[in-house]
């Protein structure tokens, strides 16, 4: 992960950005994230901050947090056809030279899968409406 930065919106937001980079194992140094308006992240593979993104990919704090390793995790896995997906506990997501592999363990053997996705929750109609209303409140629509 090179040239990925997050623009800090407040001192509290900056602390969360620093923590998210720590959670990803890329944080180096003792920055607090208190330079509001600055971009914190990886510039050419080095963790620092700057007043401009310098050709880096600007992402949100939420996108950065989503990159954190959430394994092991129950997921649907498959190689070629999603309709043949199986529910398995995914132990890790590996990436090497752009090839992503998901690792599971079952009956004493490791298995590698080309595809994985979170298990979709089965919500009632009322739960879906409530989630939509909550999202609209967050967006103040």
In what side-by-side order are the strands of the sheet with 39-43? 46-50, 39-43, 4-7, 57-58
pTM of the model: 0.52
Domain ranges of the chain: 4-66, 69-141
Calculate ∠ Cα 101-103-107, nearest 5°.
Answer: 145
**Domain 69-141 bears CATH identifier 1.10.3720:** no
- Would you state the structure tokens that stand for residue 119, as one six-digit string? 């298990």
pLDDT in tens, 2-19: 789 999 999 999 999 999
pLDDT at 51: 94
How many whole angstroms separate alpha carbon 136 and alpha carbon 47? 35
Best CA proximity match to 87, nearest among 123, 111, 119: 119
pLDDT at 1: 61
pLDDT in tens, 51-84: 999 889 999 998 888 777 678 888 999 999 988 8
Calculate ∠ Cα 90-92-95, nearest 5°.
Answer: 130
Helix (H, G, I), strand (E, B) or coil at 44: coil
- Residues 33 and 40 sit within 8 Å (Cβ to Cβ): yes
How many whole angstroms separate alpha carbon 75 and alpha carbon 102? 10
pLDDT in tens, 84-128: 899 999 998 887 777 889 999 999 999 999 999 888 766 677 777
């Amino acid at each position: 992960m090179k040239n990925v930065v997050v623009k800090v919106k407040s001192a509290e937001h900056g602390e969360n950005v620093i923590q998210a980079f720590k959670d990803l194992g890329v944080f180096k140094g003792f920055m607090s994230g208190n330079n509001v308006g600055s971009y914190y992240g990886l510039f050419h593979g080095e963790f620092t901050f700057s007043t401009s993104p310098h050709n880096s990919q600007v992402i949100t704090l939420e996108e950065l947090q989503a990159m954190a390793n959430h394994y092991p995790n129950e997921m649907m896995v498959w190689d070629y056809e999603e309709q043949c997906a199986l529910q398995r506990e995914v132990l890790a997501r590996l990436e090497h030279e752009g090839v992503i592999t998901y690792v599971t363990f079952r009956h004493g053997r490791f298995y590698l899968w080309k595809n994985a996705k979170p298990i979709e929750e089965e919500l009632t109609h009322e739960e879906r409406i409530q989630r939509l209303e909550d999202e609209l409140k967050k967006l103040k629509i």
